[in-house]
Amino acid sequence: MRHQVVLIPGDGIGPEICRAMRRVLDAAGAPIEWEERIAGAAAVERYGTPLPEEVIDRIRERRVALKGPLTTPVGTGHTSANVALRQALDLYACVRPTRTLPGVPSRFGAVDLVIVRENTEGLYSGIEHEVVPGVVESLKIVSERACVRISEFAFQYAVACGRRRVTAVHKANIMKKSDGLFLRCARRVAERYPQIEYDEVIVDACCMRLVMQPERFDVLLTDNLYGDIVSDLAAGLVGGLGVVPGANLGSDCAVFEAVHGSAPDIAGRGIANPIATLWSASMMLDFLGEAAAAAALMAAIEAVTAEGKTLTPDLGGKAGTREVVDAVLGRLNP
């Protein structure tokens, strides 16, 4: 049986790394039928919208997608197609495993944590308006339903993946109602999982502890904004954005994508690190029930990083995207 997967190459380095990922999966014989669709800046040019309705419909039908990053203009222009996609498909859980790969230079030896981020509401609800000239209001929407289901997800994930602790990240000392609700829900859910330790940390203290003792953390349960920020911080602990994968999961659909953005500063130069997207593809294979193929791909990636000869410039190497892909393929099909 072949799996039907929607592929959104995206903007900036997106097409390069998605091509690279596809080359690896196709050469490895992964049973996937790709259906390519355009979103992001390219879609704005062609269809006048960054997220054509048809793209959402195709993912709804196929249920699984792998996407490259989509560019969002800063402070002006169209709203984020990434956020819109997650909301439209109710991809409520964003899962970002952040682990030191062998051979990848980083400040810490053995980081191994997972960020579980609420993906549909909070300050990313996108509800903003100008109250009077010079004063704007941005609403942070927090619902009990969303807090409970993301907490449930984090604990279930911890149990399923053999993790020992869930840490809720919050700012309930200041945002007593919104983050207060988030914490109350997390505590309620935690009571049902006595086998998993539960603790809480204020988001600013969390950032400090992450850069001092990252090994202290296991599963981080966060809202939408804190999760976004802490994800990049955590990426910095393990070698950067080129090596952190992600999944956006809902009850009906799943969209896999690296944590990084479209990296306009290196787009088109053939030096983007494909590992984050390859690892996201491995997560997707696992999700599709292709556990052996997923594990083989991860083993090949780790063999290449451990050897340390074929690394892209973000990891201190001199290799291009293509050479990394060739090296991974060499390990997969020796």
In order of 15, 80, 165, 179, 326, the CA distances from 125 in angstroms are 28, 11, 29, 15, 41
Q: With respect to ligand NAI, which residue has the nearer C-beta, 214 or 274? A: 274
Q: Cβ-closest residue to ligand NAI?
A: 261
11 is catalytic: no
Q: How far is the CB of 41 from ligand NAI (least distance, A)?
A: 8
Site for ligand NAI in 244-283 (CB under 6 A): 257, 260-266, 272-273, 276
CA 274, CA 4: separation in Å to the nearest integer?
22
Q: Which of 11, 67, 124, 157 is catalytic?
A: 124
Burial of 262 (0-12, 13-18, 19+ CB in 10 A): buried
What beta strand segments (E) does 135-249 contain? 135-138, 165-170, 197-202, 219-222, 247-249
**Residue 257 region, left (φ>0) first, then alpha (ψ -120 to 50), else beta?**
beta
Site for ligand NAI in 148-207 (CB under 6 A): none
Q: With respect to ligand NAI, which residue has the nearer C-beta, 290 or 323? A: 323
Burial of 175 (0-12, 13-18, 19+ CB in 10 A): middle
DSSP 3-state percent helix, strand, coil across the chain (nearest 5): 45, 20, 35
> Which two tokens mark 91?
């991809």
252 is catalytic: no
CA 227, CA 92: separation in Å to the nearest integer?
13
33 lines the binding site for ligand NAI (CB under 6 A): no
Binding mask 290-319 for ligand NAI (x = CB under 6 A): ----------------------x-x-----
Binding mask 59-98 for ligand NAI (x = CB under 6 A): ----------xxxx---------x----------------
228 is catalytic: yes
Q: How far is the CB of 317 from ligand NAI (least distance, A)?
A: 11
Q: Cite the active site residues.
A: 124, 171, 204, 228
Q: Which residues bind ligand NAI (CB under 6 A)?
A: 13, 69-72, 82, 241-242, 257, 260-266, 272-273, 276, 312, 314
